[in-house]
Amino acid sequence: MITKRFTFEQTAQAAEYLKQGQLVAFPTETVFGLGAIANNERAVASVYQAKGRPSDNPLIVHVCRKEDLFRYSNIVNEAQAAIAKKLTDQFWPGPLTLIVPTKVGIFGPTVTGGLKTVGIRMPDHDFTLAVIRETGFPIVGPSANLSGKPSPTTVDHVLHDFDGKIAGVLDSQPTHIGVESTVLDISNPEELAILRPGAITLKDLRNALPEQRIIDATQQIAEDSKEHPKAPGMKYRHYSPHQEVIAISHDKLLELIASKQGLSPESAVIASDEILSHLDADLPTFSLGTNEATATHLLFAGLRAFDDNDQIKRLYVELLADTEANTAYRNRLLKAASKKIES
């Protein structure tokens, strides 16, 4: 199979591939997704197969209009509807996935993971929205990487994992946020719950809904548990390259560099420019830039930077300070890491 790179002018052709049940990767503002039309059970099942994804890990459905949230879900409670409208008015299109009751007969169990809820979002990317509109039905879109590996933020990342294995990819510039969407469960209007952190923070949500109780419920479910996760990233190991990942705080990383112990030729350092300025020139590195926002944007690219370097066995990755702004960064890095060193 040859994986076709679609341009914006080929929107109709990309949509036709999806309507035929083929897989097409697509860009969003967060990461690239692996797309299949959501009303074709065989196509959706092939997403799980291509990724090697556990079957109880639900998929997020991507729509092209704000009103599609109500069209494809079973929001009948007035309070729930009011919450949904406020959130979509303020944050859609954008990096917010809403967990809502699913409407009977719309999405099969391969989409929902066998749950009575479904995650829906409207991505902020003109090319992808045009393809969904042309397809005529929402598309599922887990991150376009092999299951457990770092999410892709460029077309090259997608092709590294899936070239020759999927029908196509929408050709686009790198994503500008770099981590997956915030997932907010609004199925219980009495208590909304963040199931996965992202660019939209708990503070953002509380500012949008000041009268609403919103909690952080990002706790991990054990992989051997029979409990089905409501959102991706809650149960299974994610974001891990083939090397050992050590998450290490700014000060501890500077101490390690100064001691010159542990940074062998088999090690690479992924950190801010300020940290990297203290390193010997011959050590493999990847820059996370000069500020925390840039670091979040570049984290997955850093974790993928040494994909094809079998000589690198260990990645030391700077662990940003534990602040609300860094919640998504820390969540993804700590899921990838086998060890944490923090002062």
According to the annotation, is 121 in a ligand binding site?
yes
In single-letter form, the type of residue at position 131 comes to V
Q: What is the pLDDT of residue 302?
A: 97
Q: Does residue 231 form part of some domain?
A: no
- On whether both 41 and 184 belong to a single domain, the answer is yes
C-alpha to C-alpha distances, 234 to 209, 221, 339, nearest whole angstrom: 24, 6, 19
Q: Which of 216, 232, 259 is the last residue of a domain?
A: 216
- On whether both 172 and 255 belong to a single domain, the answer is no
Q: Does residue 333 form part of some domain?
A: yes
Q: Does residue 223 form part of some domain?
A: no
Helix pair 292-304, 327-336: axis angle to 10 deg: 20
According to the annotation, is 181 in a ligand binding site?
yes
User: Which of 289, 272, 274 shows the shortest CA–CA distance to 316?
Assistant: 272
- On whether both 107 and 147 belong to a single domain, the answer is yes
Which residues does 191 contact at the CB level (< 8 Å), separation at least 6?
213, 214, 215
Beta strands, E only, the chain? 4-6, 24-26, 33-37, 60-62, 96-101, 117-121, 139-140, 168-170, 182-185, 192-196, 214-216, 244-249, 267-271, 285-287, 314-319, 339-341
- On whether both 163 and 60 belong to a single domain, the answer is yes
Q: What is the pLDDT of residue 222?
A: 44
Q: Does residue 228 form part of some domain?
A: no
According to the annotation, is 151 in a ligand binding site?
yes
CATH of the domain at 316: 3.40.50.11030
User: Residues 228, 69, 28, CA angle at the centre, nearest 5°?
Assistant: 80
- On whether both 211 and 248 belong to a single domain, the answer is no
- On whether both 159 and 249 belong to a single domain, the answer is no
Total-model pTM: 0.92
Q: What is the pLDDT of residue 230?
A: 63
CATH of the domain at 68: 3.90.870.10
- On whether both 174 and 276 belong to a single domain, the answer is no
Element (H, E) at 221: none
- On whether both 152 and 257 belong to a single domain, the answer is no
The total number of structural domains in the chain stands at 2
According to the annotation, is 57 in a ligand binding site?
yes
- On whether both 148 and 201 belong to a single domain, the answer is yes
Measure the CA–CA gap between 180 and 204, rounded to whole angstroms: 16
Q: What is the pLDDT of residue 218?
A: 84
- On whether both 152 and 14 belong to a single domain, the answer is yes
User: Which of 26, 39, 34, 38 shows the shortest CA–CA distance to 51?
Assistant: 34
Measure the CA–CA gap between 152 and 159, rounded to whole angstroms: 9
According to the annotation, is 117 in a ligand binding site?
yes
The residue segments making up the domain with residue 263 are 244-341
Q: What is the pLDDT of residue 14?
A: 99
Measure the CA–CA gap between 267 and 195, rounded to whole angstroms: 33
Q: What is the pLDDT of residue 55?
A: 73
According to the annotation, is 53 in a ligand binding site?
yes
Please give the span between the terminal C-alpha atoms of the chain, in angstroms, as a whole number: 50
Rg (CA), the chain: 20
- On whether both 212 and 90 belong to a single domain, the answer is yes
Which stretches of the chain score pLDDT less than 70?
220-238, 262, 281
Going 236 to 74 to 181 to 330, the CA torsion angle's sign is negative
According to the annotation, is 153 in a ligand binding site?
no
What pLDDT digit, counting tens, does each position of 232-281 carry?
555 455 677 889 999 999 999 999 998 877 688 899 999 999 999 998 76
Element (H, E) at 206: helix 202-208
According to the annotation, is 213 in a ligand binding site?
no
Q: Does residue 151 form part of some domain?
A: yes
- On whether both 195 and 54 belong to a single domain, the answer is yes
